[in-house]
Structure 1
Amino acid sequence: MKDKLKNSLWMIAEKLIAVLGLIFVTSYVAKYVGPTTFGIISLSMLVFQFVQTIAQMGSDVILLKRISQKRYSGIRLMISTFFLVLVLYALLSLVGFLVMQEELSSDALVFIGAAAFACLFSAIDLVNVYNEAMLHARRNVIANLIGLVISLTVRYFISYFTLDPKYLAIPIVLATLIPFVLKTGWFLLAEQQRSIPAIRQFKKYSRYMVASGFSLILSVIAVALYTRVNQVSVSYFLGVKEAGIFSVALTLSTAWVFLPSALLASFYPSFFAERDPEQAIVKAQKLHLLVIGVSAGVIFSIWLLSGWFIRAFYGAAWLDAIAPTVLLSFGAMCAVLSSVMDRFIIKYNGYRYLVKKTFAVLLICLASSLLLVPHFGLTGAAISVVLTEFLSFTLLNYFFSAQPVMRVHLIFINPRKLWLLFNNIKTSDSKESLS
């Protein structure tokens, strides 16, 4: 238990470093290159992150389970998957370049290529999953921190010596290349040749990964699409400059969600172990209160400080990001609440229902984006996100027939029961957490 707790703390530290690095790195680059160039960088990353998601085929989930259960078999599967993902990414990235062909000026091509290579190293960094499964998350943190420090240092020198902005492509690639090289190097030193599969085994393991990943790929694609629909809509209807501004708003409004997510991770085992359906509903309601309590303080801080922060760290050219940032922070809270409801449905084996729900969410996001973005601009895109996440958190869950999901939310329109539940957290929940 001590090792698991320590590993969890390292994982939280990794996310904190990544979030803080992302905020300060993006603000630095955005202020240096301006909204239009940054919009090209953001759009490039958007396209190739999508390519990365498809190429990985949900392999992180499959590998985590296999490595946790059968270490050496999992390692052989991981190595075979490495080459499979590499080939898939190379093929799909050609499609990515075709998508970006309208932006293929000499300057833009540098950043598009940098985004492609950065996402490539993220896609094939499967040792990251191995470290999490083997409770070696500390290695991920150290590797990511070294990559972040070197990347920031290179960015600083580019700015200090006022070099051509195209040189910023170098730290974009270094931010993922260095962690990949370090983690892979440590893995090879530790494992050496003991778990390298024979040539004849690659085909078998690759076939297994394709068969296992295919069941996840539709859901993965749907999630990858709906989380990016509004960014694409903003770029199409409003332009690359506005896409850059919206990307900054998304970054700032969602950077904090690791806080409630990390807290929820500590309570999920007790929730899944609960056999009494009535108590399961009560525990789900308590998790909702936990998310809302943490989110309220963060959203208030964003409302209070976002204007100052954007002006100080990004500059006057980015002030249009203030209103979307505040709105999108509500969307981020609804997304976390939606994840709680997804766990509730998973508890009752509603996997197929969640796949259908994901595609319904995609359709709602697409429709609302096409309607709102042309008429209300960046604010419309933010409203589309909030509307989509709110429906994903509420209405779209109520059609699950295995359990009365609506009962989880009914308490929030009953002040008396809500007050009793709030007071009950101080007593029963503290005892449950000790058991």
Structure 2
Amino acid sequence: MNWYKKCKNNIVTNETSSRIIKNSGWLVSDKVLTMAIGVFVTAVVARYFGPEQYGQFNYALAFVSLFTAISTLGLETLTVKSIVDKKVNEGVILCTSLLLRVVGGIVLTIMAVIIINIIEPGNTNLQMLVLIMSFTMIVKSFEVIEYWIQASQKSKISSLIRMSVYVVMSVLKVILVVKGGNLAHYALIYTLDAVIVSIALIIAYFQFREEKSAWKYSFSYTKDILSQSWYLILSGLMITIYMRIDQVMLGSMMSSKLEVGIYSAAVRIAEMWYFIPIAIITSFRPVIMKNRNINEEKYLKSLQLLYTIIAWTGIGFGIVTLILSKTLVSVLYGVDYLEAASILSISVWAGTFALLGSVRSIWLISEGLQKYTLIFMGGGAIVNIILNYLFIPYMGGKGAAVATLIAQAMVAFFIPLLFKETRNASFMILKAFKLKL
């Protein structure tokens, strides 16, 4: 247990650890509640609609997600960095980011509706689902307040908001099942969630902000941030493609949406544990970025520590999920979804690679190497599309799971090895699995 003692000592003696743990504690509390309620409610909804209709909803959601990735304009990490650096007034940063996201959301909502009408001309139910859910791209523009929360490490604010709203929305979903609602009603609840969260975040910001700078749009800041973010816009699309294209291709290549429903149930369970590493990554991000400007040794040490925590968290949850896959599926979703167990045994390992890639993205931004993000994600998207095309006709959902796992491993570890500037990221991942802190 020597590695455990070293890990504990590393955290305890770190002067910034208490703040990270406190901040991530709120994030974890938020996600524990949403996971506990969400797993139950999702299972109830999935059982109610059945694999076919549940698959149709998830097909629409995956389709909209392809556009949502672009609507964020790659602003999250860059905006957090801008607020931390304090080279531009906070009000200018947030106001400009908000307007950019609103414009992007409107354009992409229109595009999503037009394209779904072209590729699914006779499916009016699917077209309606896409229309309703696409509207969230505009509404979620107001979530730029999350960037301020991350930079200020005030996760208690957003956690309380999201926990409260999530409970209310979960109750509405159960009422939908009891009252015999349809998929359109379910999609409306999805959009209403975004509306309420956005309003609450805006109110919270103006009540709790410390810097009272006026909100102003800046054309010069727009040019500066977009000149840096276009790599992230395209890479965001690429990462969404290789994360979501499996469901889109399953729905398009199979004769019905039933396979998408089975696959989505497996993915939902595989993602249950993500709340812990995501909370940790979110809390570490501003600390690592600050250390980059202060102390190189502390910067690399905190980065390596984050890699190690994420790697072994993934291994732990992966083993547990592998052992309990059939039990989890049967208890949560019932016998109609039992085929999801074999898919789950594959899908759960893809998450570890995806989260390690999220850690690497912090390093890329800090080092000014974000252009490589596009190369990595583009390579992963191409690999995933090709493998899905080859595997899905013969293996169905299992083929999609294998394709995604291989693509995630390529993006997180193998593709960065091809470039001298990014090779160190892969070496840090290897070191993380050795448990030498």
TM-score interval, normalised by the smaller of the two chains: 0.7 to 0.9
Q: Is the contact between residue 356 and residue 429 of structure 2 (CA under 8 Å) also seen in structure 1? A: no
Q: Distance in 2 between matches of 1:403 and 1:158?
A: 49
Equivalence for 1:88: 104
Q: How many residues get paired? A: 412
The aligned runs of 1:52-91 (5 Å cut-off) are 52-70=68-86, 73-91=89-107
Q: Is the contact between residue 26 and residue 156 of structure 2 (CA under 8 Å) also seen in structure 1? A: yes
What's the CA shift string for 1:35-80, capped at 9, x where partnerless? Answer: 2222222122222222222122111122212222339722222123
C-alpha displacement at 1:378, in angstroms? 0.7
Q: Distance in 1 between matches of 2:271 and 2:200?
A: 28
Equivalence for 2:274: 257
Gaps of 5+ in 2: 1-15
Equivalence for 1:415: none
Equivalence for 1:313: 332
Q: Is the contact between residue 27 and residue 279 of structure 2 (CA under 8 Å) also seen in structure 1? A: no
Counterparts in 2 of 1:164 and 1:235: CA distance versus 1, 3 Å: closer
The aligned runs of 1:20-419 (5 Å cut-off) are 20-70=36-86, 73-101=89-117, 102=120, 105-190=123-208, 195-197=213-215, 201-238=217-254, 239-260=256-277, 262=279, 269=288, 275=297, 290-339=309-358, 350-402=369-421, 405=424
Q: Is the contact between residue 311 and residue 352 of structure 2 (CA under 8 Å) also seen in structure 1? A: yes
Q: Is the contact between residue 53 and residue 123 of structure 1 (CA under 8 Å) also seen in structure 2? A: no
Q: Is the contact between residue 133 and residue 188 of structure 2 (CA under 8 Å) also seen in structure 1? A: no
Secondary structure, counterpart of 1:100 in structure 2: helix
Q: Distance in 1 between matches of 2:140 and 2:78?
A: 17
- Report the identity percentage: 17
C-alpha displacement at 1:335, in angstroms? 2.6
Q: Is the contact between residue 24 and residue 280 of structure 2 (CA under 8 Å) also seen in structure 1? A: no
2:52 partner letter:
T
Q: Is the contact between residue 66 and residue 73 of structure 1 (CA under 8 Å) also seen in structure 2? A: no
Q: Distance in 2 between matches of 1:100 and 1:5?
A: 44
Q: Is the contact between residue 147 and residue 174 of structure 1 (CA under 8 Å) also seen in structure 2? A: no
Secondary structure, counterpart of 2:27 in structure 1: helix
Q: Distance in 1 between matches of 2:312 and 2:272?
A: 17
Q: Is the contact between residue 20 and residue 284 of structure 2 (CA under 8 Å) also seen in structure 1? A: no
Counterparts in 2 of 1:18 and 1:361: CA distance versus 1, 3 Å: same
Counterparts in 2 of 1:28 and 1:174: CA distance versus 1, 3 Å: farther
2:204 partner letter:
W
C-alpha displacement at 1:381, in angstroms? 0.6
C-alpha displacement at 1:383, in angstroms? 0.8
Q: Is the contact between residue 80 and residue 148 of structure 2 (CA under 8 Å) also seen in structure 1? A: yes
Q: Is the contact between residue 51 and residue 262 of structure 2 (CA under 8 Å) also seen in structure 1? A: yes
Q: Distance in 1 between matches of 2:157 and 2:122?
A: 38
Q: Distance in 2 between matches of 1:263 and 1:95?
A: 35
Instruction: Return the structure number with greater relative CO, CA threshold 8 A, min gap 6.
Output: 2
Q: Distance in 1 between matches of 2:249 and 2:423?
A: 36
C-alpha displacement at 1:237, in angstroms? 1.0
Q: TM-score, normalised by structure 2?
A: 0.81
Q: Distance in 1 between matches of 2:386 and 2:45?
A: 33
Q: Distance in 2 between matches of 1:410 and 1:89?
A: 39
Counterparts in 2 of 1:335 and 1:131: CA distance versus 1, 3 Å: closer
C-alpha displacement at 1:329, in angstroms? 0.8
Higher alpha-carbon deviation: 337-346 or 79-88: 337-346
Q: Distance in 2 between matches of 1:123 and 1:288?
A: 30
RMSD: 3.6
1:250 partner letter:
V
Gaps of 5+ in 1: 413-417, 430-435
Q: Is the contact between residue 69 and residue 233 of structure 2 (CA under 8 Å) also seen in structure 1? A: no
What's the CA shift string for 1:121-151, capped at 9, x where partnerless? Answer: 2343111222222232111011111111111
Counterparts in 2 of 1:216 and 1:241: CA distance versus 1, 3 Å: same
2:267 partner letter:
L
2:75 partner letter:
S
Secondary structure, counterpart of 2:396 in structure 1: helix
Q: Distance in 2 between matches of 1:100 and 1:42?
A: 14
C-alpha displacement at 1:211, in angstroms? 3.2
1:251 partner letter:
R
C-alpha displacement at 1:404, in angstroms? 6.1
Higher alpha-carbon deviation: 247-256 or 22-31: 22-31
